[in-house]
Chain A
Amino acid sequence: MCHPTPRAVALMLGWSLLGLAACQPSEAPRVELAVVVDGSGLEPEVSDLGWGVELNEARVVVADLLFTTAGELHDERQPAGAQLISRLASLLEARAWAHPGHQQGGEVIGELPGTHVIDFASEDGRELGLATLITGDYTALNFGLGRGQPELDGIDANDPLIGHTAILRGTASKLVDGATTEVAFTIIIDSPPDREIIGAPFEASVTEASSFEIGLRMLLRDSLEGDRLFDGIDFAALDAADGEADGQLLLVDPDEGDPQQVAALSDAYYAIRREFQTHDVFDAITHLDP
């Protein structure tokens, strides 16, 4: 009951003001750059417990990409509209939390609005749209986590992503006593409706001459701190805890699925969701022209 103005409202206000600012002769230069899915962050990783994890499905509902810079707009001719946007953006990010290696609380100077259902495991190279960016040095990326809805592109009425934020499906394998144990897992993640990822890395210098693509990645391994999405998860123990050690594991939100789900499964689900909802698991990189 006491949080800042919703991001979406300020986003509309901010970009409306940017539109007004565009009428002034001192408008900051803007460029449009394509944002594409980049699957390179999902190379198989070995967790701290020795589980080799490979994802063959990593579908996430992503909303309203916002690109930020840590400092003031570099253009001294900054128009009044852009100054207002900066102040709005500062208000928006006032609750962002500091985290080593990540830039947060910067000003929003670029965006790709809209909701996108992205499979990071199978859609490498798919274009999500053209982002509008004010020229400047970018440091971070923010976006919302949505829920699958039937009207979204690529989602039909029977899609298991309906009503959920993400589906992570894959295999975890580990060599134990000379034999390989393999667990096929499905994790269905439900994030709160207003949940946002704040401060995912995006290091780029955008000029009027820029023509690169922006690759949006989901990461199995945090490139800055080295920890992995599935650290601490003992897939074999969880497989046994679900009633049958059959090599199949399903983790769902206890509030949305089975409220009687055993504690170990719930704890594992929450641990993965917590990590998934941090800025350690996503980033954006530049794809220079070949």
Chain B
Amino acid sequence: MIISHRIHKFTLVCLTAIAFTTACTGGEGELEVRAWGEEFIEEGIPATELADGWAVSFDRFEVELRDVSAAGVALPDPAPLDLAQPSEGMGQLIGRASVATGDHDDARFTIAAVEIEGRASKDGVEKTFAWSFDTAVEYSNCETLTQVSRDAVAQLQITVHADHLFYDSLVSEEPDLRFDAIAQADTDADGIVTQAELASAGLGAYDPGNLEIDDLWGFVSAQAQTMGHVDGEGHCES
């Protein structure tokens, strides 16, 4: 009896210890995923950022996201998000999920399409644009670590870099932002720079690297495929 009692007591202690350990290190936490276009999309890109003095702003910057997943959990595809809407730095909500606690580096997502409307101005001249990019780009192996614990809501941010649209190089580590060439593509001078006009415009000083791109629409479209990031400046493979 004494031996049996001691065995039961020992088992109870062990089970309690295991349960306690599991409770401390395992379980689930909450993950919130948002998309943000930073101040550049919500407030505009100031003239000081562009080498040729244009200022750019966006009336609409609609991003269609698909296959967003992180921490081993796939989120439902959200409705298209307009990143030009003010969010006070929070970005637009994609979704929430209960995920395993711990450190996660498996964030991935697809930007299926982007539709933007905006305007650029310089010295009293204004050019508007409304462009659509429908080449889906998958982003994975992102440079970020999402730490999920039980007592806080973890955050993952898909960050969209709109300034890439105006880079003058696809390969430089320090490209300039420019709008002059895009403005000059408005050959009918109606103040609207269309996709067709960009497709008819040569590259000028723009540098496409080894890509066989020879018109501005092809160049801007290629830049649009580099806009996806995570948690600010975190790069992903695409």
Q: Which residues of A contact B (CB under 8 A)?
A: 1-4, 6, 94-97, 99, 102, 104, 192-196, 198-199, 254-255, 266-267, 270, 274, 277-280
Contacts and interface: CB of A to CB of B under 8 A. Distances in A.
B211 A97 contact: yes
B170 A97 contact: yes
A42 to B, nearest CB: 21
A192 B211 contact: no
Contacts of A199: 210
Given A3-B173, A270-B204, A97 B209 contact: yes
B229 interface: yes
B36 to A, nearest CB: 14
A267 B211 contact: no
Contact of A270 (B171, B205, B212, B235): B205
A96 B172 CA distance: 11
B173 A274 contact: no
User: Which 9 residue pairs spanning A and B have beta carbons closest together?
Assistant: A3-B173, A194-B173, A99-B210, A278-B210, A192-B172, A2-B233, A97-B211, A97-B210, A270-B205
B171 A95 contact: yes
Interface residues of B, number: 21
A1 B226 CA distance: 13
Given A99-B211, A198-B210, A274 B172 contact: no
Chain B CB within 10 Å, residue with most, of A3, A6, A196 = A3
B44 interface: no
A196 B171 contact: yes
Contacts of B210: 96-97, 99, 102, 104, 198-199, 278-280
Interface string B205-226: 1011111100000000000000
B233 A192 contact: no
A4 B172 contact: no
Given A97-B170, A266-B204, 19 more contacts: A2-B161, A3-B173, A4-B173, A6-B173, A94-B235, A97-B171, A97-B209, A97-B210, A99-B211, A104-B210, A192-B207, A194-B174, A195-B171, A195-B207, A254-B205, A267-B202, A267-B204, A270-B204, A278-B209
Interface of B: 161, 169-174, 202-205, 207-212, 229, 233, 235, 237
Contacts of B237: 94
Contacts of A280: 210
B188 to A, nearest CB: 19
B172 A99 contact: no
Contacts of A278: 209-210
A199 to B, nearest CB: 6
Chain A CB within 10 Å, residue with most, of B170, B204, B210 = B210
A279 B210 CA distance: 7
Contacts of B161: 2
A255 B180 CA distance: 14
Nearest to B164: A2
Contacts of A4: 173, 235
Contact of A195 (B172, B203, B205): B172
Contacts of A255: 205
A277 B209 contact: yes
A266 B211 CA distance: 21
Contact of B207 (A3, A96, A254, A274): A274
A97 B218 CA distance: 15
B68 to A, nearest CB: 20
B165 to A, nearest CB: 14
Contacts of A277: 207, 209
24 contacts: A2-B229, A2-B235, A3-B173, A3-B174, A4-B173, A6-B173, A96-B210, A99-B211, A99-B212, A192-B174, A192-B207, A193-B174, A194-B172, A194-B173, A194-B174, A195-B171, A196-B171, A198-B210, A199-B210, A255-B205, A266-B204, A270-B203, A270-B205, A274-B207
Contacts of A192: 169, 172, 174, 207
Contacts of B172: 192, 194-195
Nearest to B141: A94
Contacts of B173: 3-4, 6, 194
Nearest to A100: B212
Contacts of A266: 204
Nearest to B208: A274
A94 B237 CA distance: 8
A1 B38 CA distance: 14
A192 B173 CA distance: 10
A183 to B, nearest CB: 22
Chain B CB within 10 Å, residue with most, of A1, A102, A280 = A1
